[in-house]
């Protein structure tokens, strides 16, 4: 805002200067030459100043005049002026100064400034006339922190791109030996498998700049823009070589030419043609490697895939069980996990998961600690509504929710109750800070911080709950806008010193509540871990389970829990064996109408402990009701003898899994 104001003031000053230069002061009276001669002879002229053909003079009555001498010889003029005692002055020719041209120079400078701004400034990007510039984002070697150690689950792909890293580190070594490095590498694989991550890791490992752009960023509504952006991108890359250009979703611009309604002059085809030319045009010693990613290699133009362009394809597929375990270990590096969390077991229960899917499991655990922090602080602080339910199932924009249920209707709150509310609101953020470290705190507490800050400010400015400021109203009530009051018409009713004191009091309340909540969670760290584990297992826990956790007991199963544990399953089986049963059926997914569909991991976590406990303690045939190949393999390994869902064997991989066991 301030920069814009200064700019407009400069423009106004320039305009005033220009107007002053072009506008003249009060013009003197203009006389024709014959009248001037007559007034000289009549003695009415006091003095004259001769400036070439222009004569400016002053009469004896004080008035000024101006006349122009005609282009004919008048040698008697000087004599007439001297005879009539007229003072004659000559005007020295003006010297040309730089200040004479200063207004014009300023106008040119302002014009150039605006043109540069419209073209996107010094970087050439972002302005309304910069549509021909590349939109590729440059990450310098210091900005790319990702290395190949951060990429897991695709060992074959990492081996294939290893020589690219060596080339980027020392291009001269390959050139001296006559080696040839692919100019383009096409990464192919389903979404979420780590294609972009692998490309960034190559740049981070080799310590080279990394240009990243999406295929859709090339094409705009203007003809020729895409080709211009391709040229500009390669020009920038040559200045930063050796470097990597990464084009994500290249199928947006690299589809087969000649198809569709656009014809040969289609903008997308022009862009593709320019890309093909640039990839053929730069030399080997330029040190530029183009990496592209797509999950639709079948739609790409054959010219893109020929030798000399994207002549090497690296398949980044879905990870196998070993790859999933490696990915989980990477995500668990900075995440505190319980002793009972085994990445190998989770990997067995997540067939078909991509790296992005596995990363989402870590976010679920963060949410569990966040909501557990709310619940524990709300349970301990005085005059707080009882905790009714805690869930990590996303609802709307919230990843989880902690529900507090008042025991009775209340129309007013004490200062102690308000302080307790602020403490519980900060419980989630503090739990994240304790488990993930300050650098690992997420944005999930943004709404909590907003609500806590609003309560603290209202305590000071509206409700008179500050000892320093007393029971005074420091904030005007906001009237309804539609009742004749415009939005933003509220006026501050406090001085600057009072506003400073208000901010200090609000900060004091927040700091006090933050310290209280942190002390509560520090003293109850074991309960925080136990509640987070329960949320990871059940996803939703109620007041009874929270009572168990706060009392230091193992939380009971929810009333509507469809899974089970090894202990409960063994107890039920013992009762059936005592009644004469020789076969028990174990299932982890309900077939009731309306029952929630569970994932393979959830089903495995429900069934595996029961099968393992029964096979270890009881002599009974175990039948598993499942339609998931991963569950078939794991439960058979743990001791299951039958699979009773015959229809499940028609699913892909299920028959092979059953036959292998």
Mean pLDDT of the chain: 76
**Contact of 64 with 27, CB cutoff 8 Å:** no
CA distance 347 to 332: 13
Core vs surface per residue 18-57: b (16+ CB within 10 A) or e: eeeeeeeeeeeeebeeeebbebbeeebbeebebeeeebbb
**Contact of 627 with 601, CB cutoff 8 Å:** no
Q: Who wins on pLDDT, 273 or 647? A: 273
Q: Is 481 exposed, middle or buried (0-12, 13-18, 19+ CB in 10 A)?
A: exposed
Q: Which parts of 119-240 fold into alpha helices (H)?
A: 155-160, 162-169, 171-176, 195-206, 225-239
> What's the average model confidence in pLDDT over 155-179?
78
> What's the average model confidence in pLDDT over 90-102?
66
**DSSP readout, 68-127?**
E--SS--TTHHHHHHHTT-EEEE-PPPPP-GGGSHHHHHHHHHHHHHHHHHTTGGGT-SS
In sequence order, the 6+-apart residues with CB closer than 8 A to the CB of 433 are 440, 441
The pLDDT score that the predictor gives to residue 528 is 92
3-class secondary structure, 552 = coil
- Domains, the chain, with CATH or none: 26-92 (3.30.720.210), 137-317 (3.40.50.300), 354-475+497-551 (1.20.58.760), 569-643 (no CATH)
Tell me the sheet residues that pair with 622: 584
Does the pLDDT value for residue 515 go beyond 90?
yes
Note the pLDDT tens digit of each residue in 580-606. 777 887 776 655 444 456 666 667 777
Note the pLDDT tens digit of each residue in 335-366. 666 666 677 767 765 666 777 777 666 677 78
Which pTM was predicted? Answer: 0.44
Cα separation values, 388 from 382, 385, 414, Å: 16, 9, 21
The pLDDT score that the predictor gives to residue 487 is 45
Residue in 389, 336, 401, 386 with CA at minimum distance from that of residue 533:
336
The pLDDT score that the predictor gives to residue 590 is 52
**CA–CA–CA angle 90, 92, 95 (5° rounding):** 165
Cα separation values, 611 from 559, 626, 642, Å: 22, 13, 12
Residue in 135, 314, 280 with CA at minimum distance from that of residue 215:
135
Report the half-sphere exposure of 150 (CA within 13 A, side-chain side).
18
Over pLDDT 90: what percentage of the chain? 11
The pLDDT score that the predictor gives to residue 183 is 77
Residue in 388, 369, 380, 370 with CA at minimum distance from that of residue 516:
380
Q: Annotated catalytic residue: which of 160, 325, 371, 505?
A: 371
Q: For this structure, is 371 an active site residue?
A: yes
CA distance 350 to 357: 9
**Contact of 540 with 391, CB cutoff 8 Å:** yes
The pLDDT score that the predictor gives to residue 519 is 94
Does the pLDDT value for residue 169 go beyond 60?
yes
CA distance 546 to 550: 6
Does the pLDDT value for residue 145 go beyond 50?
yes
Does the pLDDT value for residue 260 go beyond 90?
no
Q: Who wins on pLDDT, 245 or 134? A: 245
3-class secondary structure, 276 = helix
Q: Who wins on pLDDT, 43 or 431? A: 431
Residue in 251, 197, 214, 250 with CA at minimum distance from that of residue 134:
214
The strands making up 64-68's β-sheet, listed across from edge to edge, are 29-30, 64-68, 54-59, 45-51, 87-90
């Amino acid at each position: 805002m301030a920069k814009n104001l200064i700019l407009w003031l400069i423009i106004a000053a320039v305009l005033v200067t220009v107007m002053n230069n072009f506008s003249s002061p009060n013009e003197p009276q203009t006389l024709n030459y014959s009248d001037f001669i007559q007034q000289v002879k009549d003695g009415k002229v006091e003095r004259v100043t001769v400036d070439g053909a222009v004569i400016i003079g002053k009469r004896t009555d004080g008035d000024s005049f101006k006349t122009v001498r005609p282009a004919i010889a008048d040698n008697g003029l000087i004599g007439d002026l001297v005879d009539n005692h007229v003072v004659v002055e000559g005007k020295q020719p003006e010297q040309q100064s730089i200040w004479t041209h200063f207004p014009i120079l300023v106008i040119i400078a302002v014009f150039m400034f605006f043109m540069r701004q419209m073209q996107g400034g010094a970087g050439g990007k972002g302005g309304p006339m910069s549509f021909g510039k590349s939109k590729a984002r440059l990450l310098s070697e210091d900005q790319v922190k990702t290395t190949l150690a951060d990429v897991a689950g695709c060992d074959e792909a990492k081996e294939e791109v290893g020589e690219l890293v060596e080339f980027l580190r020392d291009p001269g070594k390959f050139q001296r030996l006559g080696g040839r490095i692919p100019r383009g590498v096409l990464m192919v694989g389903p979404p979420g498998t780590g294609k972009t991550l692998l490309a960034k890791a190559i740049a981070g490992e080799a310590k080279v700049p990394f240009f990243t752009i999406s295929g859709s960023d090339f094409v705009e509504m203007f003809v020729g823009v895409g080709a211009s952006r391709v040229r500009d991108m390669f020009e920038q890359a040559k200045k930063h070589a050796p470097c990597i250009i990464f084009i994500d979703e290249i199928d947006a611009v690299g589809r087969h030419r000649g198809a569709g309604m656009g014809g040969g002059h289609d903008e997308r085809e022009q862009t593709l043609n320019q890309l093909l030319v640039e990839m053929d045009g730069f030399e080997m010693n330029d040190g530029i490697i183009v990496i592209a990613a797509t999950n639709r290699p079948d739609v790409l133009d054959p010219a893109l895939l020929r030798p000399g362009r994207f002549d090497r394809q690296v398949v980044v597929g879905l990870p196998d069980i070993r790859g999933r375990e490696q990915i989980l270990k990477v995500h668990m590096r900075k995440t505190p996990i319980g002793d009972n969390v085994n990445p190998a077991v989770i990997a067995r229960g997540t067939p078909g998961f991509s790296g992005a899917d596995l990363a989402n499991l870590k976010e679920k655990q963060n949410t569990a600690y966040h909501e557990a922090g709310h619940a524990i602080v709300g349970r301990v602080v005085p005059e707080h509504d009882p905790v009714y339910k805690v869930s990590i199932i996303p609802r709307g924009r919230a990843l989880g929710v902690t529900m507090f249920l008042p025991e009775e209707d209340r129309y007013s709150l004490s200062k102690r109750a308000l302080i307790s509310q602020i403490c519980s609101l900060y419980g989630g953020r503090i739990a994240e800070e304790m488990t993930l470290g300050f650098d690992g705190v997420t944005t999930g507490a943004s709404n909590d911080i907003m609500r806590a800050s609003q309560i603290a400010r209202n305590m000071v400015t509206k409700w008179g709950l500050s000892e320093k400021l007393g029971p005074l109203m420091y904030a005007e009530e906001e009237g309804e806008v539609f009742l004749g009051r415009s939005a933003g018409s509220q006026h501050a009713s406090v001085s600057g010193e009072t506003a400073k004191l208000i901010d200090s009091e609000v900060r004091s309340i927040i700091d006090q509540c933050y310290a209280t909540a942190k002390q509560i969670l520090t003293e109850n760290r074991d309960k925080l871990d136990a509640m987070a584990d329960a949320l990871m297992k059940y996803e939703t826990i109620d007041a009874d389970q929270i009572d168990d956790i706060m009392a230091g007991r193992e939380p009971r199963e929810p009333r509507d829990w469809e899974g089970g544990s090894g202990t409960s399953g063994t107890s039920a089986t013992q009762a059936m064996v005592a009644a004469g049963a020789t076969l028990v059926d174990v299932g982890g997914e309900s077939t009731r109408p309306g029952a929630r569909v569970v994932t393979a991991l959830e089903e495995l976590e429900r069934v595996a402990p029961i099968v393992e406990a029964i096979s270890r303690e009881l002599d009974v045939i175990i039948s598993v009701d499942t339609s998931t190949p991963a569950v078939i393999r794991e439960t058979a390994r743990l001791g299951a003898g039958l699979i009773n869902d015959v229809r499940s064997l028609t699913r892909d991989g299920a028959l092979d899994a059953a036959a292998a066991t």
